[in-house]
Amino acid sequence: MAIFPIRVYPDPVLRSPAAPVERIDGHIRRLVDDMLETMYQAPGVGLAAPQIGVALQVVVFDVGEGPHHLINPVLLETAGSWTFDEGCLSVPDRFWSVRRPGFARARGLNLDGDEVEYAGEELLGRVLQHETDHLKGTIILHRLPRRLRKQAMKEMREEALGLSEGR
């Protein structure tokens, strides 16, 4: 297994839709293992393949119940509302109060090619939504109100240019 560097905004792979996995093989199994190792090392509770530069529809997550993965996930249902300080490994060291549905249900494939479903409220629901967003080229910055998004992007540009002391 290998730990990969996590791509950070504005890397183009984060803003492009990921391709569906056509065949589950040794490459995909290795990818899932590497993604889990990378996620735990970061540390994070979820990771999508584009975040390590692989434009495929694969996500891994662990909200405290052990490691899970979904290949070609589809968000089937959301309900309710839950506001939570959400962050993203691809926008490091930043958290924003983001309102999303409080419940989510997603379906995808496991490494055996069998259909699996995960559903949950609060953190699990949020992780399912957040990671499937990544597969569509949507990142947390897109979920922020325009004014807050512009301010965050300005701060990140200034930090990248060394014009601020950071956060």
Nearest to 74 by CA among 44, 36, 118, 33: 118
Rounded to whole angstroms, how far apart are CA atoms 72 and 58? 6
3-state helix, strand, coil in the chain (%, to 5): 35, 30, 35
From the candidates 77, 131, 159, 165, which is the catalytic residue? 131
Instruction: Tell me, yes or no, if 131 is annotated catalytic.
Output: yes
Nearest to 72 by CA among 113, 127, 31, 39: 113
> Which residues are catalytically annotated?
131
